[in-house]
Amino acid sequence: MFKRDIFLLTLVFHKLISALQSCGGFHVRRHSSLDNLLFNEAFMSEHVVEGKLSCTGRCYRHPLCNMLLYNPTSKRCRLYKSSINTGGTEEPGWQYYAAECNHFRVENALSLTVVNQSVDVACGSGLTHIPSSPFHCSLGTEVLNIGMCAQTRWINLVSPWVTDLPAPLSPGAEIKVRGAGDGAGNTDVNLRGTDDLISVFLLSIRWSRHDAIFNTKISGTWGTELGPSTFIFSPNVVFDVLVRITTTNFLIFIDGNNFYEAPIRISVDNAVRLYISFSRLESVEIKYP
């Protein structure tokens, strides 16, 4: 590991030195069809530079820069964090350049490598790389799409709490919830569709009945309730829920122990929203396969 770290440090240092001279392997492609347009979307900064190479160097050294506009007359250099081909306003003199595919960076990524259209992305804490499907990397004037680093872990939440899923669920995905119920009402983990007429998965701890049930809803009608015969929960005691999706079932674990195996009645790719209702909600995490 020590030798590898030295190698990576040497490589990064070499690239930075190269960038000052020729931007190393960082290449931008001219798209003359978008010249003479000024863009405001995803704009980061503007500088006065000696030439296009200096503008490219600034883009290279910025962790999010993927596109630049350079005006050789005014020496103005504008940096952007994404390729844009719509919404430009006419202003003569601007030249449009976008990074080549293998140097395109995604926002929120700690690092990104693209080799032969294989993407390796490292995301920050609480974020997960959600790849585009299918992989699309155009050297033309289209927007480059290689996925995103999306938030998949949240902490210290106010209940009830809801979020749109950053990507469709599939077998191998997991949902983790840590929190407690106060012994009143229901404590729910609910995967919903585009509206309240569909519930792909509901785990509801009903304190008043001392039961915990699984159910689904389609076209506004609830199905048959299923669940274990024992009630293992205590009011105001924090517990962990893990829901693991397989090809046919939801495997439900409480504090790491098998709790219930529920059948998948509605395809999980119908789920678009996660709704959580705990009296105390410490964290929620979605893990993609």
Nearest to 189 by CA among 289, 288, 259: 259
Q: Among 26-30, 118-122, 234-238, 257-261, whose mean pLDDT is lowest? A: 118-122
- Per the model's pLDDT, the better-predicted residue between 243 and 139 turns out to be 243
Contact call for residues 162 and 274 (beta carbons, < 8 A): yes
Q: Would you state the pLDDT for residue 217?
A: 97
As a whole number of angstroms, the distance between CA 118 and CA 135 comes to: 9
180, β-bridge pairs: 280
Residue 270 has pLDDT above 50, yes or no: yes
As a whole number of angstroms, the distance between CA 159 and CA 172 comes to: 27
Structure tokens that stand for 252 in this block? 């439900």
If phi over 0 gives left and psi between -120 and 50 gives alpha, with beta otherwise, what is residue 2?
alpha
Residue 211 has pLDDT above 70, yes or no: yes
Residue 10 has pLDDT above 60, yes or no: no
Nearest to 286 by CA among 146, 188, 143, 163: 163
Structure tokens that stand for 173 in this block? 């995905």
Contact call for residues 135 and 117 (beta carbons, < 8 A): yes
Percent of the chain topping pLDDT 90: 60
Read off the pLDDT of residues 85-103 as tens digits, 9 standing for 90 and up: 667 889 999 999 988 777 7
Q: Would you state the pLDDT for residue 144?
A: 62
CB count within 10 Å of CB 160 equals 12
Confidence of residue 122 (pLDDT cuts 50, 70, 90): confident
Contact call for residues 222 and 216 (beta carbons, < 8 A): yes
Q: Would you state the pLDDT for residue 28?
A: 84
Confidence of residue 198 (pLDDT cuts 50, 70, 90): very high
As a whole number of angstroms, the distance between CA 149 and CA 129 comes to: 4
Confidence of residue 9 (pLDDT cuts 50, 70, 90): very low
Confidence of residue 115 (pLDDT cuts 50, 70, 90): low
CB-based contacts of 1: which residues, under 8 Å, 6+ apart?
Answer: none
Confidence of residue 32 (pLDDT cuts 50, 70, 90): confident
Residue 139 has pLDDT above 80, yes or no: no
- Per the model's pLDDT, the better-predicted residue between 151 and 106 turns out to be 151
If DSSP codes are grouped into helix, strand and coil, which group holds residue 31? coil
Confidence of residue 23 (pLDDT cuts 50, 70, 90): very low
Confidence of residue 3 (pLDDT cuts 50, 70, 90): very low
Q: Cα dist. 127→104, 111, 130, 151, 196 in Å?
A: 19, 13, 9, 4, 27
Residue 7 has pLDDT above 70, yes or no: no
